[in-house]
A and B are shown apart, each in its own frame.
Chain A
Amino acid sequence: MTEIKVYRDLMGANAEWAEKTRALLAEKSVRMVNIIGSPGCGKTTLLERMAARLAGRVRFAVLEGDVETTKDAERLAALNVPVSQLITAGACHLEAKLVHYALRDLPLDVLDLVIVENVGNLVCPAEFDIGEEAKIAVLSVTEGEDKPVKYPLLFREAAVAVLTKTDLLPYLPFKLDACLDYLQQVNGELPVYQVSALTGDGMDALAGWLLNGRSIMR
């Protein structure tokens, strides 16, 4: 019996595409962020309500990822946000190659920022580097406050966490302090923004984070 050492990275293909994207973005001086959260946590609504706060301050476009339909992209298009929809037709996460193809069709020469809204999923998107500068983990107060410890990889990988739908807190058993504790236990350095896209609470502060491009390098 002979043992042959191989040492071959099984995520190598995705990593290569992610690096191609980084090189393209660097060449064009465009930043890219990757928004990840469960289905229904408020990612698209967050972007709808963020659009007006970003307009005139940064030139941005959105890449929408979904399993089916162009519904999310249509919502943003109605607000005149430049948007492309990526339909995975089954895959539960975006991969670097798909994002790279879509990026090449964006007018990168006149953009400063690309916001990727990943497929609604707390698990798989965290594992696939798509060439972003930062992952934004989104969690709503209508979910369990223990989500951070149930999905540690995402909250470790994220540069920032956004807690959405805070306007509903008075009506929910959601334990805010426990959630903040869990976030700390998984990632002690993670800044947390508590927002309500609908009332506007906390949205200006989050816009500030997006505009300043602050991300924690790991």
Chain B
Amino acid sequence: MPVRGSVPTCRKAYLFVGTDPLTDIVIFLPDDKFEVSLRAVPCENALTHGKVSTMHEFGIGEELVAAVVTELTRFSPLPRLQKVRVVVGGLRQVIPDNLLFAYEVLSRDTPAAGSALEIEILPLRGECTDCGWQGEITLPVFQCGSCGAYAMRTLGGMELYLDSLEIEEG
């Protein structure tokens, strides 16, 4: 490992927020040991006007609604959206009820308002690196259902995607 010279001092504190402009943020000011840089990280998602989401599913919900609206607005005239289907992998820490709630709240006043959200959770599958068996993993233990070894390699599990939209024609 090359070790030449010393590293310049870094004394920066960044306050990251997802909103622009900065409002309603309580800033904890350090003493003069730190140079404080208030960074308003520009929002890419037009629907996100608030602070960084604190509930996991609200962050995902924002991405979901944005994706749905983007797809819908490809069509002219704007179709009536009936249902949205989302696929969630078995390792994902998404609580379906929370995502349903987030979607309902976040889709209000958008072209996606009133649509249903269907969440499909994929069973977690894996392959045993000892004996080659492929099958379902029963969380939280990653054990081969054939030889019993704790040698299961997961096949997927981290899926989180918008699968399809169901729209009403005409």
Determine the main DSSP class of B at the interface with A: loop
**Cβ–Cβ < 8 Å partners of B4 in chain A:** 110
Which one of A73, A97, A184 lies within 8 Å of B34 (CB-CB)? A73
A74 touches B52 (CB 8 A): no
Of B1, B71, B91, the residue contacting A57 (CB under 8 A) is B1
Proximity bits, B128-170, A CB within 8 Å = 1, else 0: 0000000000011111000001111110001011111111110
**For residue A188, which residues in chain B have a CB less than 8 angstroms away from its CB?**
142, 149-152
The complex places the Cα of A73 from the Cα of B26 at a distance, in Å, of 19
Given contacts A82-B7, A82-B10, A101-B16, contact A74 B2 (CB under 8 A): no
Q: Which residues of the partner chain A approach B169 to less than 8 Å between Cβ atoms?
A: 1-2
How big is chain A's contact interface, by range?
Answer: 35 or more
User: Are B67 and A123 closer than 8 Å at their CB atoms?
Assistant: no
Q: Which of B7, B41, B143 contacts A61 (CB 8 A)?
A: B7
**CA of A111 to CA of B9, assembled, Å:** 12
Contact of A58 among B3, B54, B158, B166 (CB under 8 A): B3
Given contacts A69-B28, A91-B53, contact A13 B7 (CB under 8 A): no
Given A59-B3, A152-B139, do A87 and B14 touch, yes or no (CB 8 Å)?
yes
- B64 near A: Cβ within 8 Å? yes
Kindly report which residue of chain A lies nearest to residue B52, judged by CB atoms.
A91
Please determine whether B91 and A3 come into contact, CB atoms closer than 8 angstroms: no
A199 at interface by CB-CB < 8 Å:
no
Docked-complex contact A61 and B67, CB < 8 angstroms: no
Q: How far is the CA of A203 from the CA of B85 in the complex (A)?
A: 48
Q: Are B52 and A8 in contact (CB under 8 A)?
A: no
Residue contact A102 to B14, C-beta cutoff 8 Å = yes
A50 neighbours in B (Cβ, 8 Å): none
Whether a CB of chain A sits under 8 angstroms from the CB of B30 is yes
Which of these, A13, A57, A185, contacts B150 with CB under 8 Å? A185
Contact with A along B1-26 (1 / 0, CB 8 A): 11111111111111111000000011
- Point out the residues of chain B lying under 8 angstroms from A70, CB to CB: 13, 28, 30, 34
Q: State A208–B38 Cα separation when bound (angstroms).
A: 37
